[in-house]
Amino acid sequence: MQKRKLGRSNLEVSALGLGCMGMSFGYGPAGDKEEMISLIRTAVERGVTFFDTAEVYGPFTNEELVGEALAPFRKQVVIATKFGFKLDPDTGKQAGLDSRPEHIKQVAEASLKRLRTDVIDLFYQHRVDQDVPIEEVAGAVKDLIGEGKVKHFGLSEAGVQTIRRAHAVQPVTALQSEYSLWWRSPEKEVLPTLEELGIGFVPYSPLGKGFLTGKIDENTTFASSDFRNIVPRFTPEARKANQAFVDLLTMVAEQKKVTPAQLALAWLLAQKPWIVPIPGTTKLHRLDENIGAASFDLAPGDLREIDAAAAKINVQGARYPESLDKLTGR
């Protein structure tokens, strides 16, 4: 597996990371713990060194899973986790945002214990909290870095104003936001800003929450606890309309003798050398398929062909319900 550096920082990771959320949360029932531990450890054996989790995934259970799985390999891997949600102490459910400095420090201590480590490699603010100036957030993480509890500061779904203000207080190593062939909003302002400031980019949902694999169609049914049930882009009507996107990927992938998922990931890797996608999976064959995307390159002509064809397709449906879309920053 090739390595990449996140921006101008010294944080070097595998070209593809592993998003661990779906092992515990979000896409239906949690996976079997021992199977998920085995999958994470297999990823390490395959050369993956970058693992993504958050306190809110579960909540808490995903950090515990990742911590247990990676304990034997701690020195050779990079673990990213996140703070910024307020969790109901009785139910553990999300109850708004909380990026107050004292809360950030409490979350860091709890995450360190769950992750079985003495330092968090990359600590993201999960969503921008409009009630707490980003300078205070960056200052709190700067303190944690000074104490040796955190190595790098990250933001998630932040806009360019927030990125600049945070970066002026504590250099931002990486931004994690959704980015894929069917959600290209970061290209307008965010990617140029990251390039200017030397910040790495970590696309989540690089396979469009599974849709770009070609394994989901208008007739697919999701488990009752799968959050795609409330995503406008995943209504049966939207899936039917968006099939044109999968058809395009499938056509080009067949020419290249790769899978649609591999093509979608290779496309992201080709955009910038400081982009590190974090596809998630609970299946070993999907892990191997995703890793295969790092072993071939798309030529400039391939990229132009894909972009020209994609530009003619109008993706149907919002990427989040309105209540969640409000949590993206300016």
Give me the mean pLDDT over the 32-60 stretch. 97
Question: CA 196 to CA 185: how far, in whole Å?
Answer: 18
Tell me how far CA of residue 168 lies from CA of 97, 104, 136, 141, 260, in angstroms: 23, 19, 12, 13, 40
Question: CA 38 to CA 45: how far, in whole Å?
Answer: 10
The answer as to whether 26 is a domain residue is yes
- Domain range for 91 is 3-325
SS (H, E, C) 35-96: HHHHHHHHHHHCCCCEEECCCCCCCCHHHHHHHHHHHHHHHHCEEEEEECEEECCCCCCEEE
The answer as to whether 285 is a domain residue is yes
Question: CA 104 to CA 98: how far, in whole Å?
Answer: 8
DSSP annotation of 118 reads: S
- The Cα diameter of the chain in Å comes to 55
Tens-digit pLDDT profile for residues 212-235: 999 999 999 999 999 999 999 999
The answer as to whether 250 is a domain residue is yes
Q: What pairing do the DSSP bridges indicate for beta strands 78-83 and 85-87? A: unpaired
**pLDDT category, 327, cuts 50, 70, 90?**
low
Write down the pTM of the prediction. Answer: 0.97
The answer as to whether 11 is a domain residue is yes
The answer as to whether 229 is a domain residue is yes
Give me the mean pLDDT over the 290-297 stretch. 95
The answer to whether residues 294 and 270 touch, using CB atoms and an 8 Å cutoff, is: no
192: nearest Cα among 171, 170, 175: 175
Tokens of 33: 């713990």
Residue 247, pLDDT above cutoff 70: yes
SS (H, E, C) 125-163: ECCCCCCCCHHHHHHHHHHHHHCCCEEEEEEECCCHHHH
Q: Which residues are catalytic?
A: 57
Dihedral sign, Cα of residue 227, residue 204, residue 93, residue 30: positive
Total domains present in the chain = 1
Tens-digit pLDDT profile for residues 55-74: 999 999 999 999 999 999 99
The answer to whether residues 155 and 166 touch, using CB atoms and an 8 Å cutoff, is: yes
Number of residues in the chain: 330
Q: Where are the alpha helices (DSSP H) in 257-321?
A: 260-271, 284-292, 300-310
| Residue 66, Cβ density class (10 Å: 0-12 exposed, 13-18 middle, ≥19 buried) | buried
The answer as to whether 330 is a domain residue is no
Give me the mean pLDDT over the 19-43 stretch. 97
User: What CATH number did the domain enclosing 26 receive?
Assistant: 3.20.20.100
The answer as to whether 256 is a domain residue is yes
Give me the mean pLDDT over the 236-265 stretch. 95
Residue 246, pLDDT above cutoff 70: yes
Percent of the chain beyond pLDDT 70? 98
The answer as to whether 10 is a domain residue is yes
Tokens of 185: 């909003």
Residue 326, pLDDT above cutoff 90: no
Residue 147 has a pLDDT of: 98
